[in-house]
């Protein structure tokens, strides 16, 4: 576990997608050549690195936070850097490109249904390889990379490691950092080709049930949409067999499941929230990830880390933007007193 190299390390370095979400509340998603009305618009964070680091800052993480990635020399890029600095996130390794624009997503959210449609511009994120990172010079304990499948240059093949991302993760591990990854959900057959090589150089893998199923080939829900808890465990085992060094965490609306390399299983139900609490699901997965990473960094029991994750996700659901709903840790945990967790996942169906 490279304990000798990690004793003096502290902090999380988040690398990957930096996106500005332009969230628009609309009355209805229009058919072609028809009109829809925008009633409200707001800017928010987007992308794994951006969301997770802002969430950790808002939770009150008691350790240094730093970012790595690529943004454009435009107003959106400047806003990302300024926003990070306001939350005391080190931006020295966020490079500014004059050849590419900052990535953004137009998020169209129907007011009544809450359904969201995304129009994404990959921008500068597509060109980032992380080659400028000097892992030997950072004192961070964990390098979190995401999202695989949405980082074009990192998703490219590499003869030695399988992908460029796997090569980057290997460099981080050799420097003494723990590595963590997240994946974007998409309807494709690319998961085994891009995700599996990275798992060989991953300590902590945190992904949702769709991504876990796409990577392993297991169907994690039945035809009726009910979560198959047995299949979840099989998928977790398959992911660990692919090379994950310490723990895999699979999350879903009903909660989360974690399995360690030495075979310890932990289930955690999500909070049972009233419909009026939920304003948007964008960012809930990253909020969960931030809560789990907080616990992993601090050496908490895995159950406590998962519980923190579902509470952070519950807080995130209260706002249509990805990070607007996340609050200090004690406020997120207090949600569980008001809205207790659902029945245990491994005992009852939903």
Domain CATH code at residue 153: 3.40.1190.20
Q: Does residue 112 fall inside a structural domain?
A: yes
| pLDDT tens digit sequence for 114-141 | 777 889 999 999 999 999 999 999 999 9
Dihedral sign computed on CA atoms, order 322, 325, 327, 332 = negative
The pLDDT confidence band at residue 81, using thresholds 50, 70 and 90, is very high
Q: How far apart are CA 285 and CA 208, in angstroms?
A: 8
> What does pTM read for this prediction?
0.94
Give the per-residue pLDDT at 111.
Answer: 86
Q: Does residue 225 fall inside a structural domain?
A: yes
Q: Does residue 115 fall inside a structural domain?
A: yes
Q: Which residue carries 């229009």 as its tokens?
A: 30
Q: What SS3 class is residue 279? A: coil
Q: Does residue 65 fall inside a structural domain?
A: yes
Q: How many domains does the chain have?
A: 1
Mean pLDDT, rounded, of the chain: 94
Q: What's the average model confidence in pLDDT over 133-151?
A: 97
Q: How far apart are CA 287 and CA 315, in angstroms?
A: 8
State phi, psi for 109 to the nearest 5 degrees.
Answer: -115, 120
Q: Which residues contact 243 (CB under 8 A, 6 or more apart)?
A: 199, 200, 201, 202
Q: How far apart are CA 160 and CA 222, in angstroms?
A: 38
327 prior amide bond cis, ω within 30: no
Q: Rounded to whole angstroms, what are the CA distances from 264 to 164, 267, 297, 302?
A: 31, 10, 19, 10
The pLDDT confidence band at residue 346, using thresholds 50, 70 and 90, is low
Q: 224 pLDDT exceeds 80? A: yes
Q: Does residue 348 fall inside a structural domain?
A: no
What is the b/e burial string over 99-137, where b = at least 16 CB atoms within 10 angstroms of the residue's CB?
ebbbbbbebbbeeeeeeeeeebbbbbbbbbbbeebebee
Range of the domain at 245: 10-31+38-338
| pLDDT tens digit sequence for 250-282 | 999 999 999 999 999 999 999 999 988 988 788
The pLDDT confidence band at residue 23, using thresholds 50, 70 and 90, is confident
Give the per-residue pLDDT at 182.
Answer: 98
Q: Which residue carries 């908490």 as its tokens?
A: 300
Q: Does residue 291 fall inside a structural domain?
A: yes
Q: Which residues contact 225 (CB under 8 A, 6 or more apart)?
A: none
State phi, psi for 345 to the nearest 5 degrees.
Answer: -65, -35
The pLDDT confidence band at residue 298, using thresholds 50, 70 and 90, is very high
Q: 287 pLDDT exceeds 60? A: yes
CB 167 within 8 A of CB 207: no
Which pair of tokens denotes residue 114? 């809450």
CB 288 within 8 A of CB 314: no
Q: 216 pLDDT exceeds 80? A: yes
Q: 21 pLDDT exceeds 50? A: yes
Q: Does residue 17 fall inside a structural domain?
A: yes
Q: Which residue has the higher pLDDT, 108 or 142?
A: 142
Q: Does residue 192 fall inside a structural domain?
A: yes
Residue 100 is inside which H or E element, if any?
A: none
Which DSSP symbol is given to 66?
Answer: E
């Amino acid at each position: 576990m490279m304990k000798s190299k990690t004793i003096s390390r502290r902090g999380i370095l988040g690398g990957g997608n930096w996106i500005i979400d332009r969230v628009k509340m609309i009355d209805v998603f229009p058919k072609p050549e028809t009109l829809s009305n925008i009633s409200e618009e707001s800017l928010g964070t987007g992308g794994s690195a951006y969301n997770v680091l802002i969430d950790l800052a808002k939770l009150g993480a008691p350790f240094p936070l730093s970012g790595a990635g690529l943004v454009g020399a435009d107003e959106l890029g400047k806003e990302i850097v300024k926003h990070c600095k306001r939350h005391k996130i080190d931006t020295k390794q966020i490079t500014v490109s004059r050849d590419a624009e900052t990535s953004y997503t137009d998020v169209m959210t129907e007011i009544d249904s809450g359904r969201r449609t995304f129009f994404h511009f990959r921008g500068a994120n597509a060109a980032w390889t992380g080659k400028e990172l000097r892992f030997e010079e950072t004192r961070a304990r964990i390098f979190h990379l995401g999202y695989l499948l949405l980082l074009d240059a990192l998703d490219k093949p590499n003869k030695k490691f399988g992908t460029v991302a796997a090569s980057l993760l290997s460099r981080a591990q050799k420097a003494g950092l723990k590595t963590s990854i997240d994946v974007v959900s998409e309807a494709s057959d690319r998961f085994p080709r891009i995700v599996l090589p990275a798992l060989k150089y991953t300590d902590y893998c945190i992904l949702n049930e769709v991504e876990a199923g796409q990577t392993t080939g297991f169907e994690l829900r039945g035809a009726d949409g009910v979560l198959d808890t047995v299949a979840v465990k099989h998928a977790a085992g398959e992911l660990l067999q692919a090379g994950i060094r310490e723990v895999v965490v699979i999350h879903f609306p009903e909660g989360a499941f974690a399995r360690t390399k030495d075979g310890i299983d932990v289930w955690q139900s999500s909070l049972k929230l009233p419909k009026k609490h939920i304003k948007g699901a964008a960012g809930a997965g990253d909020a969960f990830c931030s809560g789990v990473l907080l616990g992993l960094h601090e050496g908490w029991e895995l159950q406590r880390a998962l519980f923190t994750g579902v509470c952070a996700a519950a807080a995130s659901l209260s706002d249509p933007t990805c990070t607007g709903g996340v609050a200090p840790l004690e406020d997120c945990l207090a949600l569980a007193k008001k809205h207790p967790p659902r029945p245990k996942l491994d005992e009852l169906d939903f």
